[in-house]
């Protein structure tokens, strides 16, 4: 007897090429509105992004008009409240009241399916991680001054956290912000490195030291990047070529005091909440990229013949594919479970789930490294060649490492997760 479904099959019908809810398996997490969003995003990207993604990555940037069109489409910045988004609605006409974290997860998955992560990030990534502190902790004036212009393309953001001397160890950041004697401004000095999108951004939400050492002395300032004393230069990396990675130097930059986000010396906690969202999005994106490797390698194994037989007919190849499927499906189920917890807690990614998000990000990195390797093994030389049948796999092989280090290195956040879980366990009365 054929399985019963309450929805139509969708997308690539090959094994494991799409998340299970798109095809035969029932899911408690998704409904018709999520399917509408999925269809809308897939159609938009197929028309406006996918045909040009390889070219944009090769050229090293996403054209300004493409970024503006993307911002107006509603696909980006779903976290911005309705009163600041002007005429731009959410994808597929979903209301703000009905939008939940699973709609955001659907968008994240679909955008990651492009296969060129630098393009994905170049479309909106810098702004996406630069504005959450403003949305959550900004004043009404700050929100009205900065958020509406994001949808017209007049304003864009980046997040200035990582420095030449450290990324994961933000408690020891070196960039300083000293109050002027009249209290009307801060004078900022320091360097920020590998800042996504900064080369073209208008503002940088910046972690600065306003107090003493450690986490208690960190604040968040929004720095206009056209200010005197700001210099920017592009950084060439192995992958993410279209992501506009930038070195930012700040020399006696005068920043108005009303550009402080939240309270002085409380910026570290704002960063940590921001990192939960960033790491969750990265975990989902890595799972999708691993699924791309499986999808493309599976299709190639069916078509490619070796020793007179399809590559797929060799047991060792089928085992590679099965191993990837096991890891991808179980990791995605974990991501969905985390998302569900956040949904029933008002969409918040609080400290109780931070360790699981961190470990899901770590596991996603290990999974993507394996998927990239095994897919390249199946493709052979084509997996090493830019473009063509193995083009997405080859690109992912160059992008994979930034996922392991970016957003908190594997070693740092693995230890962080264990320490956080120990603290939570002791608090609830565990005898350890």
Query: At residue 15, does pLDDT exceed 60?
Result: yes
Which tokens is 36 given?
């509408």
pLDDT bin (cut points 50, 70, 90) of residue 168 is low
Mean pLDDT of the chain: 92
Claim to verify: residue 100 and residue 46 sit in the same structural domain: yes
Do residues 415 and 292 share a domain? yes
pLDDT at residue 271, rounded to an integer? 85
Q: Count Cβ atoms within 10 A of the Cβ of residue 69 and give its class: 0-12 exposed, 13-18 middle, 19 or more buried.
A: middle
Tokens of 408: 């908190």
One domain for residues 289 and 423: yes
Query: How many domains in the chain?
Result: 3
User: Is residue 1, in this structure, part of any structural domain at all?
Assistant: no
All residues at 6 or more sequence positions from 28 whose CB lies less than 8 Å from its CB, including other chains: none
| 73 and 138 both lie in a single domain | yes
Highest-confidence segment of 100-104, 239-243, 349-353: 100-104
293 and 252 in a common domain: no
Distances (CA, A) of 199 to 100, 126, 192, 360, 397: 32, 10, 12, 30, 25
Flag whether 236 is in a domain: yes
Confidence of residue 1 (pLDDT cuts 50, 70, 90): very low
Higher pLDDT, 391 or 166: 391
Query: Is 196 in the same domain as 277?
Result: no
Do 288 and 414 belong together in one domain?
A: yes
- Asked if residue 24 has pLDDT above 70, the reply is yes
pLDDT (tens digit per residue) in 213-222 = 888 999 999 9
| Coil, helix or strand at residue 251 | strand
- Any idea of the CA torsion for 295, 297, 299, 304, to the nearest 10 degrees? 180
- Inside any domain, residue 349: yes
The CATH number for 52's domain is 1.10.540.10
Is residue 12 assigned to a domain?
Answer: no
Within 10 angstroms of residue 269's Cβ, the number of other Cβ atoms is 15
Whether 11 maps to a domain, the answer reads no
Does 407 map to a domain? yes
Return the residue matching tokens 């094994």.
Answer: 15
78 and 212 together in one domain: no
Tokens in use for 105?
Answer: 């997860």
Which H or E run includes 246?
strand 245-256
Task: Give residue 2's pLDDT.
Answer: 47
230 and 352 in a common domain: no
Using CA of residue 31, residue 33, residue 34, residue 38, what is the dihedral sign? Answer: positive
Q: Is the pLDDT of residue 4 over 70?
A: no
**Distances from the Cα of 94 to the Cαs of 40, 103, 112, 147, 414, in angstroms?**
11, 9, 21, 20, 37
The CATH number of whichever domain residue 384 belongs to comes to: 1.20.140.10
Whether residue 5 has pLDDT greater than 70: no
Residue 280 · residue 359 · CB < 8 Å: no
Q: How far apart are the first and last CA of the chain?
A: 51
Task: Identify the domain boundary among 233, 248, 265.
Answer: 265
Looking at the structure, tell me whether residues 312 and 229 fall in a common domain: no
DSSP code, position 4: P
Q: Are residues 290 and 418 in the same domain?
A: yes
Q: Please give the DSSP secondary-structure letter assigned to residue 271.
A: H
pLDDT of 104 strictly over 90: yes
371-391: average pLDDT: 92
DSSP, res 11: S
| CATH code assigned at 197 | 2.40.110.10
What pLDDT, in 10s, does the model give residues 71-96?
988 888 888 888 998 888 899 999 98
Classify residue 369: in a domain, yes or no. Answer: yes
On whether both 307 and 393 belong to a single domain, the answer is yes
**How many angstroms from the chain centroid is the CA of residue 153?**
20
Share of the chain above pLDDT 90, in %: 73
- In the numeric block, which tokens belong to residue 386? 């830019």
Residue 367 to residue 373: CA distance in whole angstroms:
10
Checking if the pLDDT of 334 tops 70, the result is: yes
DSSP, collapsed to helix, strand or coil, labels residue 159 as: strand
Last residue of a domain, one of 105, 130, 151: 151
* Model pLDDT for residues 106-118, shown as the tens digit of each residue: 999 999 999 999 9
Residue 10 has pLDDT above 90, yes or no: no
**Which of 232, 265, 298 is the last residue before a domain boundary?**
265
**Domain range for 211:** 156-265
DSSP string, 166-224: BSS-GGG---EEEE-TTSSEEEEEEEEEEEETTTT-SEEEEEEE-SSSSGGGEEEEEEE
How far is it, in rounded angstroms, from Cα 253 to Cα 232? 13
Q: What is the pTM of this model?
A: 0.91
Q: Residue 130 domain-assigned?
A: yes
For residue 385, pLDDT beyond 50: yes
């Amino acid at each position: 007897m054929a399985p019963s479904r309450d929805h139509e099959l969708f997308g690539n019908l090959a094994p494991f090429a799409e998340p299970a809810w798109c095809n035969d398996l029932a899911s408690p997490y998704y409904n018709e509105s999520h399917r509408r969003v999925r269809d809308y995003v897939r159609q938009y990207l197929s028309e406006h992004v996918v045909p040009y993604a390889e070219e944009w990555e090769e050229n090293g940037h996403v054209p300004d008009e493409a970024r503006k069109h993307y911002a107006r489409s509603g696909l980006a910045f779903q976290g911005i409240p309705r009163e600041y988004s002007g005429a731009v609605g959410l994808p597929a006409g979903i209301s703000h009241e009905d939008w939940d974290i699973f709609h955001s997860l659907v968008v994240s998955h679909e955008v990651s399916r492009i296969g060129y992560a630098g393009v994905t990030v170049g479309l909106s990534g810098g702004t996406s991680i630069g504005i959450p502190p403003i949305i959550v902790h900004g004043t009404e004036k700050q929100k009205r001054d900065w958020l509406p212009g994001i949808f017209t393309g007049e304003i864009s953001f980046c997040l200035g956290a990582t420095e030449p001397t450290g990324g994961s160890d933000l408690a020891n950041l070196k960039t300083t912000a000293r109050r002027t004697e009249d209290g009307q401004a801060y004078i900022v000095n320091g360097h920020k490195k590998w800042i996504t999108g900064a080369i073209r951004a208008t503002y940088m939400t910046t972690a600065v030291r306003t107090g003493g050492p450690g986490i208690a002395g960190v604040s968040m300032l929004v720095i206009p990047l056209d200010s005197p004393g700001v210099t920017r230069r592009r950084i060439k990396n192995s992958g993410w070529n279209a992501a506009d990675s930038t070195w930012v130097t700040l020399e006696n930059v005068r920043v108005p005091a009303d550009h402080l986000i939240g309270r002085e010396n409380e910026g570290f906690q704002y960063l940590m909440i921001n990192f939960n969202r960033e790491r969750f999005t990265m975990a989902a994106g890595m799972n999708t990229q691993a699924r791309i490797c499986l999808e493309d390698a599976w299709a190639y194994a069916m078509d490619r013949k070796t020793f007179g037989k399809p590559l797929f007919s060799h047991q060792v190849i089928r085992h590679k594919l099965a191993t990837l499927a096991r890891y991808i499906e179980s990791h995605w189920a974990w991501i969905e479970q985390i998302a569900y917890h956040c949904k029933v807690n008002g969409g918040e990614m609080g400290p109780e789930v931070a360790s699981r998000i961190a470990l899901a990000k770590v596991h996603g990195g290990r999974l993507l490294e394996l998927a990239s390797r095994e897919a390249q093994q199946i493709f052979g030389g084509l997996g090493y060649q830019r473009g063509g049948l193995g083009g997405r796999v080859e690109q992912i092989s160059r992008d994979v490492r930034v996922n392991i280090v970016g957003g908190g290195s594997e070693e740092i956040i693995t230890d962080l997760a264990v320490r956080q879980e120990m603290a939570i366990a002791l608090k609830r009365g565990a005898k350890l």
